[in-house]
């Protein structure tokens, strides 16, 4: 249990882990719920006792859209909301298939990639074995 | 002391629009001030009579200071609560409280923007969201597209239903000489429009226009001293559950499901009592979500509800009678225009788009990405 009111804050801890290729989630010691995005207080119960754990990386697409973009600017891309196995939802992108083929309910797994100009980026890939 | 004590205690005695349908080479402050001048003239007042100021802006960091200085007024109380486009309906609450407690005697709610002519696209002071920005969502349409996609998946809502909302708004706009977009529009045209963020096309999106709106409020005991028929605030309630779309608990249920029932409770009314409905239609999905959340139909049935022109002129439920943000105007933040259209309908001065026998109007404001929700019920003197 780290002291969340001193030292690098949860935003910095998350970013540092991601830069090392690790996807970390917080879990509340008091109500046991997982928390994303990283915070210094649990939004479910108000507790400051949030501990870091490796995320399972498993998730399900909750909603998805194709952002239309001209081919010369890089073409269409996906933006999705992914419900993590642990509970929290996050915005991300599903790679490994056409942005038009991403569907709600699709099982996905996290992958940390090197994105040009952005560094490490947490995206999702279709999980083996189909629907969650 | 309870919330229902505010029912009927505040009266809108002046309204004014500015900069419609467009105002090239005019600043946001100039457009806002045109609306303020018209609202004060409507109430038979001068700027110096205003002693409570409630405003918001996409262009000024301290909008109350800028507005008061420009008008040459010295407010005793100002409030610039910023919860997005719903702010100005939200301002009904602090304005009503300030009037009730004698902190001011004449409250002014106002907004103006030259986004259509000045920028040509949506301008926002909104800061990027740390955990969404890396995925390049287009603000705000990506968020609304995600909500629309989820609603379609969960309830079988169709793109045709979204298009029906756009067509109904256009048909109302064709009855409003101040509306920006008045060309004929069909469901087929909306369906064939360029896709921006699936499932939303260009014609599922609100306009980007110039425009300003202003309202003058007083304590109801003085309302009959003013030249125009007063419109009374019967109930207002605010709710917000998230800031960014990834934090919205259920993308098919907005906080209107909370603000609506609280506003109805304050007013002592139900959806069946409402004669005209003004909903913040930043995107076509909004109208469907708010009709459901406010209790005009069951959750999931909004798509079927709007079919066959039900919310268009001549339909069962008049919705967005000025043409809405989709076809009348949308200068960045639309809240004042919802209230002004309701007041014009309740006064019976809405011209070709006037809905007969209008005594109760519902205005619903939305801010952020389905984030803040504010519901207000307004009524004429027969509702007190
Ligand atoms: Zn907790």
Q: Model confidence over B5-48: pLDDT tens digits?
A: 999 999 999 999 999 999 999 999 999 999 999 999 999 999 99
Three-state DSSP class for residue B275: coil
- Compute the average pLDDT of residues A109-126: 95
Pick from B130, B131, B150: CB nearest A63: B150
**Distances from the Cα of B161 to the Cα of A66, A99, B146, angstroms:** 20, 24, 16
ipTM, 2 decimals?
A: 0.95
Determine whether the interchain pair B251/A90 forms a contact, defined as Cβ–Cβ distance below 8 Å: no
Number of domains in chain B: 1
Q: Residue A9 C-alpha to ligand 1 middle, in angstroms? A: 18
Pick from B134, B138, B149: CB nearest A63: B149
Would you call A37 an interface residue with chain B, using a CB distance cutoff of 8 Å? yes
Three-state DSSP class for residue A33: coil
Residue of B nearest to A83 (CA): B246
A79 and A39 in a single domain? The answer is no
In a domain, B63, yes or no: yes
Pick from A79, A89, A104: CB nearest B153: A104
Q: Tell me what pLDDT residue B309 has.
A: 98
Q: Indicate the pTM of the whole model.
A: 0.97
CATH number at residue A84: 2.40.50
Best probe of the A interface among B131, B154, B242, B283, by most A CBs < 10 A, is B131
Determine whether the interchain pair A79/B196 forms a contact, defined as Cβ–Cβ distance below 8 Å: no
Domain range holding A29?
10-54
State the sign of the Cα–Cα–Cα–Cα dihedral A82, A86, A87, A88: negative
* HSE (side-chain half, CA atoms, 13 Å) at B143: 22
CA distance B247 to chain A (A): 7
Three-state DSSP class for residue A67: strand
CA distance A89 to chain B (A): 6
Domain range holding B356?
3-121+207-383
List chain B residues with CB under 8 Å of A92: 135
Per DSSP, helices labelled H in B57-195 are: 63-71, 87-90, 92-100, 141-155, 159-173, 187-192
Distance CA A105, CA A98 (A): 16
In 3D space, the residue among B37, B363, B69 whose CA is nearest the CA of residue B216 turns out to be B37
Residue of A nearest to B141 (CA): A67
Q: Contact B5/B266 with Cβ under 8 angstroms?
A: no
Q: Tell me what pLDDT residue B349 has.
A: 97
List chain A residues with CB under 8 Å of B198: 65-66, 68, 100
Determine whether the interchain pair B137/A67 forms a contact, defined as Cβ–Cβ distance below 8 Å: yes
In a domain, A4, yes or no: no
In a domain, B85, yes or no: yes
- Compute the average pLDDT of residues A83-97: 98
Q: Residue A60 C-alpha to ligand 1 middle, in angstroms? A: 23
In a domain, A1, yes or no: no
List chain A residues with CB under 8 Å of B159: none
In a domain, B149, yes or no: no
Pick from A64, A66, A91: CB nearest B131: A91
- Compute the average pLDDT of residues B325-336: 97
Q: What is the pLDDT of residues B209-267, one digit of tens each?
A: 999 999 999 999 999 999 999 999 999 999 999 999 999 999 999 999 999 999 999 99
Determine whether the interchain pair A89/B130 forms a contact, defined as Cβ–Cβ distance below 8 Å: no
Would you call A70 an interface residue with chain B, using a CB distance cutoff of 8 Å? no
Q: Contact A24/A14 with Cβ under 8 angstroms?
A: yes
DSSP bridge partners of A89: A83
Q: What is the pLDDT of residues B93-131, one digit of tens each?
A: 999 999 999 999 999 999 999 999 986 555 667 788 999
In a domain, B238, yes or no: yes
Determine whether the interchain pair B246/A93 forms a contact, defined as Cβ–Cβ distance below 8 Å: no
Q: Residue A27 C-alpha to ligand 1 middle, in angstroms? A: 8
Q: Contact B91/B116 with Cβ under 8 angstroms?
A: no
Q: Residue A5 C-alpha to ligand 1 middle, in angstroms? A: 16
In a domain, A2, yes or no: no
Q: Tell me what pLDDT residue B123 has.
A: 62
A98 and A84 in a single domain? The answer is yes
Q: What is the pLDDT of residues B261-309, one digit of tens each?
A: 999 999 999 999 999 999 999 999 999 999 999 999 999 999 999 999 9
CATH number at residue B266: 3.40.47.10
Q: Tell me what pLDDT residue B126 has.
A: 78
Query: Left, alpha or beta for B248 (phi > 0: left; psi -120 to 50: alpha)?
Result: beta
Q: Tell me what pLDDT residue A6 has.
A: 87
Chain B positions with Cβ closer than 8 Å to A: 130-132, 134-138, 142, 145-147, 149-150, 153, 194-199, 244-247, 251
Is a pLDDT exceeding 60 seen at residue A131?
Answer: no
In a domain, A31, yes or no: yes
Q: Contact A26/A52 with Cβ under 8 angstroms?
A: yes
Determine whether the interchain pair B246/A90 forms a contact, defined as Cβ–Cβ distance below 8 Å: yes
A49 and A76 in a single domain? The answer is no
Q: What is the pLDDT of residues B173-203, one digit of tens each?
A: 999 999 999 999 999 999 999 999 999 999 9
Q: Tell me what pLDDT residue A130 has.
A: 44
Verify cis geometry, omega within 30 degrees of 0, for the bond prior to B87: no
Q: Contact B157/B317 with Cβ under 8 angstroms?
A: no
Number of domains in chain A: 2
Q: Tell me what pLDDT residue B139 has.
A: 92
A39 and A69 in a single domain? The answer is no
- Compute the average pLDDT of residues B57-84: 96
Q: Tell me what pLDDT residue B118 has.
A: 84
Distance CA B323, CA B340 (A): 13
Q: Residue B23 C-alpha to ligand 1 middle, in angstroms? A: 52
In a domain, B15, yes or no: yes
The confidence band for B58, taking pLDDT boundaries of 50, 70 and 90, is confident
In a domain, B132, yes or no: no
The confidence band for A2, taking pLDDT boundaries of 50, 70 and 90, is low
Lowest mean pLDDT of A59-68, B55-64, B183-192, name the range: B55-64
């Amino acid at each position: 249990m780290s002291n969340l009111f001193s030292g690098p804050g949860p935003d910095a801890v998350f970013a540092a882990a991601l830069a090392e290729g690790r996807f970390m989630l917080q879990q509340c010691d008091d109500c046991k719920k997982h928390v994303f995005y990283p915070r210094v207080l649990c939004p479910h119960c108000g507790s400051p006792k949030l501990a870091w754990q490796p995320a399972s990386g498993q998730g399900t697409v909750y909603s998805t859209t194709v952002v239309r973009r001209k081919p010369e600017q890089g073409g269409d891309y996906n933006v999705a909301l992914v419900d993590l196995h642990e509970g929290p939802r996050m915005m991300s992108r599903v790679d490994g298939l056409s942005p038009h083929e991403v569907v709600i309910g699709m099982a996905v797994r996290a992958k940390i990639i090197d994105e040009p100009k952005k560094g490490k980026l947490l995206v999702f890939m279709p999980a083996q074995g189909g629907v969650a | 002391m309870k919330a229902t004590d505010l029912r009927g205690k505040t009266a809108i005695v002046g309204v004014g629009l500015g900069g419609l349908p467009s105002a090239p080479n005019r600043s946001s402050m100039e457009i806002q001030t045109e609306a303020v001048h018209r609202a004060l003239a409507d109430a038979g007042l001068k700027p110096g009579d205003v002693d409570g100021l409630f405003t918001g802006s996409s262009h000024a960091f301290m909008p109350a200071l800028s507005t008061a200085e420009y008008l040459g007024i010295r407010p005793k109380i100002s409030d610039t609560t910023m919860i997005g486009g719903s702010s100005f309906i939200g301002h009904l609450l602090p304005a009503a409280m300030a009037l009730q407690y004698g902190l001011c005697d004449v409250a002014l709610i106002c907004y103006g923007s030259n986004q259509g002519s000045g920028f040509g696209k949506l301008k926002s002071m909104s800061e990027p969201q740390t955990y969404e920005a890396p995925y390049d969502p287009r603000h705000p349409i990506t968020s609304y597209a995600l909500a629309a996609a989820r609603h379609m998946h969960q309830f079988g809502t169709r793109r045709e239903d979204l298009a029906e909302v756009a067509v109904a708004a256009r048909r109302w706009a064709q009855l409003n000489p101040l509306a920006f977009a008045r060309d004929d529009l069909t469901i087929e045209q909306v369906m064939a429009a360029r896709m921006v963020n699936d499932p939303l096309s260009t014609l599922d999106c609100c306009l980007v226009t110039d425009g300003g709106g202003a309202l003058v409020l007083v304590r109801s005991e003085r309302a009959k001293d003013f030249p125009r028929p007063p419109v009374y605030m019967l109930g207002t309630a605010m709710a917000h559950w998230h800031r960014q779309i990834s934090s919205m608990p259920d993308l098919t249920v907005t906080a209107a499901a909370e603000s609506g029932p609280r506003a109805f409770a304050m007013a002592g009314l139900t959806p069946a009592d409402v004669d005209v409905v003004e909903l913040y239609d930043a995107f076509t999905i909004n109208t469907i979500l708010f009709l459901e959340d406010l209790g005009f139909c069951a959750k999931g049935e909004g798509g079927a509800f709007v079919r066959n022109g039900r919310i268009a002129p001549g339909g069962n439920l008049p919705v967005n009678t000025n043409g809405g943000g989709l076809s009348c105007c949308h200068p960045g933040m639309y809240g004042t225009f919802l209230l002004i259209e309701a007041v014009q309908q309740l006064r019976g001065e809405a011209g070709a788009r006037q809905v007969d026998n209008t005594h109760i109007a519902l205005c619903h404001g939305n801010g952020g990405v389905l984030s803040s929700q504010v519901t207000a019920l307004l009524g004429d003197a027969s509702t007190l």
